[in-house]
Structure 1
């Protein structure tokens, strides 16, 4: 086939799929969640501002595919377009449906609780605003708990907008953690993923923000299962991991540096809650199985082989990483059309998506190369590249 590479259309020879395998027993060495995206109906009005109208069969089938490789699923989070096309009512339905499917197969499921039912313009300032944010969190936590899923307390745009100090963040999170029935995962999402979260934890200085974050965890260690940190800073993550109280996990959210963080060092390792795992799940699962089998060298080789793809999908502007994950899912036959809720399928360029095709092929992540090549040819022709 021919691909537009380096400014010219050139012949390209496909590779073969990797020798990936589904586990025959639970993965034990790491807890790993893949953050899954949602698939819209191809006939829906998938334009900016339009309400989400999901293809439930494709959306839930993709989750079963991830579970079949022994991975947990992190649902209703930023990968599922929270605040980027998915309303809270649509998200609540996603949580309930995913939880029912997880129960049917014994799959691990964690779901994000946020505050996106609030309209930012309507939130009062001061103490009343903080109360509104806490109440919104409580509503979503209750929905997830009733569905039977693990709760991930997500970073809140509303809290970032109304909080004026680190103490404001601590007051809201302390109130929530005092009422949870089982330990939760706390999520710190960096501004590269969502610019509205700049200054989270009360400071734009990462060291100061980290001090507040660790203080909260130390005060509530028995109510925190772990923390997911998505700052794309491996050095910071390692330091934070070593500072956490005993028993509190660090779920890496670093889609750039996950191989070294998951493998760890003499002081420990990170578990995983990653958007990139939704794209590389066959390789990720096989790598974790190799750790279980006592072959960390092979595990690292596998993870390293996917890293260039991960860094490309999550390159700046990182906000549009969902586009690449959906494109790869389409190439691999997991959704009928290349579409995302809210028009985000247009968030990346033709050269960017072509590079995803090449890097996925090189990493052995095109499950059926003939099908993937056919879909790529159709996509290129629709974009003016004759085949």
Structure 2
């Protein structure tokens, strides 16, 4: 990751509340330094214009350093207030505030910011008088005009920040709609050759093995019922996802016979977890089509879910040809990138998909999804 990308990512993280910040300390300190210099010179410029000494020696010697000290105190108050809230407040409080997309978010951030600014200004003026030995900060604080100016500037900045947040929320909503449309398009695409092959197999078995043809048709109906049921919503539960996978694997077992062995493990306590639908099926399809079908003896595909360090791991493992084997047809990389894009759109950088080689041969595909912190 380049410096510009890391800096941009840190800026995005500054806009939300999180207990553990993944950005490097030097990047965060650089952001605070930019804020301090920006606000310091901004208010020093206003002060210089107000008293007609902008750019003069007195302005550079007294006004700019004094406003930088006040800005440093305000920045420190912001850091202590928001970082203290992130560290001390329960995670469910942070999740609630982050989920606000209305006047409550504006009231919280504006009220907290104005309070931090007021405390920082008082401390900063006291520090300026202490350094420059000009005891007049109490006269400034007792002046109604000073607080009127302070509230006016605070209201203006709060309005700009509110408009910026509103524009960002609208962009996020639009992006979510686009992602949802792409997701529904993906979910609505059932592979034609899979449908045709299954129906052709049923047709060929009707004359020679009617019981097996009937069973295959039942399994095919179970699979369609499970998968189409998930297409109607934006989320599903892990138990529903595994039910769809079991129906798909049962159908594939009828096609491959004893060449395909299946292992499915889902702990009961994880069945109610919500996630985007049809995340794991492309991984199971790849495991069978690219890993097991090319082998004469076939093999085993194992699907499991477990909780690891506050994350949900969904794993699809096979003992097939492995990652180095030639792909039988295109589209595998596209399907994997699609899964990664959906995970990022829903969960951000905390979620991901990785492919790992197995020591005994085959491939392990692992989806990692952050789990919400349970309420006490």
Query: TM tier, shorter chain?
Result: under 0.3
TM, length-normalised to structure 2 = 0.24
Pick 1 or 2: higher relative contact order, CA cutoff 8 A, min separation 6: 1
Bigger-Rg structure (1/2): 2
